[in-house]
Amino acid sequence: MDCNTPTDIVFSFTGLARRGGATGPHADGWGLAFFDGPAARVFLDPQPCAHSPLAGFLREHPIKTLQAIAHIRRKTKGRVRLANTHPFARELWGRHWVFAHNGTVKGAKTLRLSGRFQPVGQTDSEHAFCWLLDRITEKHKRRPDDPDKLAKLVADSAGVIAEHGTFNFLLGDGETLYARCDTRLWHIVRRAPFGQAALKDDDVTVDFSQVTTPRDRVAIVATQPLTSNERWVRGELATMWAFHKGALRGTYKSGEPSEKARRILRREQLSAR
């Protein structure tokens, strides 16, 4: 979630949590990060999100933020443990950077790390994240003044990683939310006039017109749409979105679509006919 005024993520997180072991198979841990200025408050739990007391606590005690990143895990590399639970966080340029990955980068370990950023766990995801930050700092000693320049670097670097496997991800620093589509990714920007939204995975409906102001703007990104009655936008293969204050600031080419991504898209197009 990325927005222009402090907002809680309870509605979307309620639907996502159900996919972590109830309506979906991603039951190998979960995490949720909230930004407060340059710092991120990160909650991690290796238990299934759908049955986690900590997840229940966060749904019942809303935390408002301008940016939040949540992840439910289905393990492929690295066993179920806290160190392997997304999202991962590192410091860069005096800010936390938070990263969550969907997919498997089988060749991640062939990407050599400088030593500035090191994995704590054994996942391909965390290794790829560390390499991505290495690539950014190799090109820029401090944050570029031009946000478009930084976004293009993130997109280009992510395209290199995607040559080694499936690389859908969310990356945020509290200022910009980057979201790369390898196989599938969707987003929606909610703005005035607000209406009702109904979750796909739970019997929950909210009327956003009752809890927002006309100036509010909230962008939500997910692997699959979280609601059943709203119009979500599907990401093009091998592209990356950059969101700022709840608005889509740009869409960037990020490598080339993989054959796996093309097959998945073809199957989904055929099943939709």
In angstroms, the CA 168 to CA 238 distance is: 9
CA distances from 218 to 9, 43, 67, 68 (A): 10, 22, 10, 11
Binning pLDDT at 50, 70 and 90, where does residue 235 land? very high
Domain housing 16: 2-272
The enclosing domain of 215 has a CATH number of 3.60.20.10
How far, in Å, CA of 101 to CA of 168, rounded?
6
Q: What number is the average pLDDT over the span 213-230?
A: 96
User: How much is the pLDDT for 249?
Assistant: 97
pLDDT at 130: 98
Q: Is the pLDDT of residue 259 over 90?
A: no
Count of domains for the chain: 1
pTM: 0.95
Asked if residue 267 has pLDDT above 90, the reply is: no
Digit-coded pLDDT (tens) for 13-54: 999 999 999 999 898 999 999 999 999 999 999 999 999 999
Question: How far is 11 from 28, CA to CA, in rounded Å?
Answer: 22
Note the pLDDT tens digit of each residue in 62-86: 999 999 999 999 888 778 899 999 9
Q: What is the pLDDT of residue 271?
A: 77
Q: What is the pLDDT of residue 39?
A: 98
Where is average pLDDT lowest: 196-205, 227-236, 243-252, 257-266? 257-266
Instruction: State the pLDDT confidence band at 192, using cuts at 50, 70 and 90.
Output: very high
pLDDT digits (tens, 9 = 90+) for 101-124: 999 999 899 999 999 999 999 999
- What 3-state class would DSSP assign to 7? strand
Q: How far apart are the first and last CA of the chain?
A: 31
Q: What is the pLDDT of residue 258?
A: 87
Q: Is 112 helix (H, G, I), strand (E, B) or coil?
A: coil
Q: What is the pLDDT of residues 130-167, one digit of tens each?
A: 999 999 999 999 999 999 999 999 999 999 999 999 99
Rg of the chain over CA atoms, in angstroms?
A: 18
Confidence at residue 35, expressed as pLDDT on a 0 to 100 scale: 98
pLDDT of residue 237: 97
DSSP 8-state code for residue 235: P
268: pLDDT confidence band, cut at 50, 70 and 90?
Answer: confident
pLDDT beyond 90 at 265:
no
Q: How much is the pLDDT for 158?
A: 98
SS (H, E, C) 163-231: CCCCCEEEEECCCCEEEEECCCCEEEEEECCCCEEEECCCCCEEEHHHCCCCCCEEEEEECCCCECCCC
Q: Which two tokens stand for residue 228?
A: 């059943």
Q: What is the mean pLDDT of the chain?
A: 95
